[in-house]
Every structure is written in structure tokens, then in C-alpha cells.
Homo-oligomer: A and B are copies of this chain.
Amino acid sequence: MSGVLYGVGLGPGDPELMTLKAARLIGAADVVAYPALAGADSFARSIAAAHLKDGALELRLDVPMRVERGPAQAAYDAGAAEIAGVLETGQDVVFLCEGDPLFYGSFMYVQARLVDRFQVEVVPGVNSISASVAAMGSTLVARNEVLTVIPGPLDAEEMRARIAAADAVAIMKVGRHLGKIRAVLDGMGLAANATYVERATLAAEVVLPLAHAPDEAPYFSMILVTKGRDPWI
């Protein structure tokens, strides 16, 4: 009997926003795996740290961050092979995922390489939109409103069209795209409806009206845009 691969969502960063199921699986795991940007600490591991079992085997996947996709895929090949080696011995592997494993996450690259040969179970986590909206402290979307989630790298023209068609918008992965996003929202007269959220739920969390946002945003930042307001609230 082969082991089971668990893709476990850890939530947005505050370790207390991990689910009970994630904490249980991590606490019982003899083998965990996690991604890390080459040379840096693993954010996923840092969220899970307090629950790791003493002496657990840790498989670290160093993923290079480049526009070119080949090197990262080679890293997933190598990581998946290492995980497969453990699963074949009958041991389970808990793969630690920031946020929610399958919501703009990289777990799919690991899963895709192993799902034909092994049982894979995904444990959902609190995603970054839920975390950012809680930090903002007011509703993004309700009732019959349409929400569109837009990655920051989208070009300005397409971004404008997507925002125009939605009742509410979450723009993810803001980072170096902040200037472009500001210009799009200004041009649409929506800047006053936009909230900037950086590192939601972490100690360094920042929540500001977009007009007061800093000039430089980290990768883990989001802009939330609402349009109308429900007349009943």
C-alpha cells in the first residue's frame, strides 16, 4: 500500500488561521514537504512550524522564481520524484501550501505529477481574498453580485474591461504592477472605491485606501474594489 499525499492549505499567514484538520495532519506527519524560493526561508514552513513533529523528515522544494518556466518545472520534477520515493514506502506525505492549495497555488504542479500513481487529498485553507476582506472589515461581494478575480500582471486594457464588467473586483499579486493598476482605476473613476491590503493577517498587515497606499507593493498584496452598495445595509 502506497502512502497518501495530502495537499494542506495553511491559510494566509496567521498560524491561528490554519484549520483544525491541517493542524492535526501536520502534527501527525512523519514526512512533510514544502516549497521555498531558492535561497529563502519557506513561508509555508513558517506558518506550520509550531505543529511540526519532532524529527519529522522535511523535503524542501527550492523553486526558482523566473519568467522562464523551465527551471521551476524541473524543480517540481525533482521534488515530485523525491515525494514519490517516500509514498512508495507506504508513508504519507503532508505537502504544506500557503493559503489554499488550489487557489492560484503551486500545489497543482506537484499534484499533476503524482495523481496518476498515488492517492492525493486536498485540504482547503482560508484563501487570500477571504483574509484581505476580513482585514478590510467590510463586505466585498454579496447577494447576486458578480466578483472577478484579476491577477496583477494582466495588461491594462484587459484589466479595464474585466473591472468594467464586474460588481466587485479582487486584484491579486499586485507587487510591481501597482502603478498600472492605480492608473486603470483612476481612469475609471474607481480609485475612491479601492482598498489596498498588504500581508493580510500577518503582524506587518497594512490596510489603506488606495490613495494612501505606498509607492511600492510586495507580491503579497491585494487591491479590493467595490462598486454599488446594498441599499439595505
Q: Interface residues, chain A, CB within 8 Å of chain B?
A: 9, 11-12, 14-21, 23-24, 69, 73, 100-105, 108-109, 111-112, 115, 120, 122-127, 129-131, 133-134, 137-151, 153-154, 161-162, 165-166, 201, 230, 232-233
The residue in chain B whose Cβ has the minimal distance to the Cβ of A170 is B147
Interface centre among A73, A111, A139 (most CB of B within 10 A): A139
Task: Please report the C-alpha to C-alpha distance between residue A105 and residue B153 in the assembled complex, in whole angstroms.
Answer: 30
A9 pairs with B130, CB closer than 8 A: yes
Check A232/B69 contact, CB under 8 A, given A19-B19, A105-B142, A124-B126.
yes
**Nearest 6 A-B pairs (CB), nearest first?**
A124-B130, A112-B233, A16-B21, A124-B134, A122-B134, A147-B149
A16 pairs with B11, CB closer than 8 A: no
A102 pairs with B133, CB closer than 8 A: yes
State the oligomeric state as a number of copies.
Answer: 2
B134 pairs with A145, CB closer than 8 A: no
Check A232/B154 contact, CB under 8 A, given A104-B141, A134-B124.
no
Give chain B residues whose Cβ lies under 8 Å from the Cβ of A9.
126, 130, 134
Check A137/B120 contact, CB under 8 A, given A16-B21, A146-B150, A165-B161.
yes
Task: Please report the C-alpha to C-alpha distance between residue A108 and residue B168 in the assembled complex, in whole angstroms.
Answer: 16
B130 pairs with A100, CB closer than 8 A: yes
A138 pairs with B102, CB closer than 8 A: yes
Contact for A138 among B108, B134, B145, CB less than 8 A = B108
Task: Please report the C-alpha to C-alpha distance between residue A18 and residue B112 in the assembled complex, in whole angstroms.
Answer: 27
B102 pairs with A134, CB closer than 8 A: yes
B149 pairs with A148, CB closer than 8 A: yes
Give chain B residues whose Cβ lies under 8 Å from the Cβ of A73.
232
A122 pairs with B137, CB closer than 8 A: yes
B151 pairs with A108, CB closer than 8 A: no
A124 pairs with B120, CB closer than 8 A: no
Task: Please report the C-alpha to C-alpha distance between residue A140 and residue B232 in the assembled complex, in whole angstroms.
Answer: 33
Contact for A165 among B15, B153, B162, CB less than 8 A = B162
28 A-B pairs with C-beta separation under 8 A: A16-B20, A19-B126, A69-B232, A100-B133, A100-B134, A102-B133, A102-B138, A102-B139, A103-B129, A103-B130, A104-B143, A108-B138, A108-B142, A108-B230, A111-B138, A115-B137, A124-B130, A124-B131, A125-B126, A125-B130, A126-B127, A143-B151, A144-B153, A146-B149, A146-B154, A146-B162, A147-B149, A162-B165
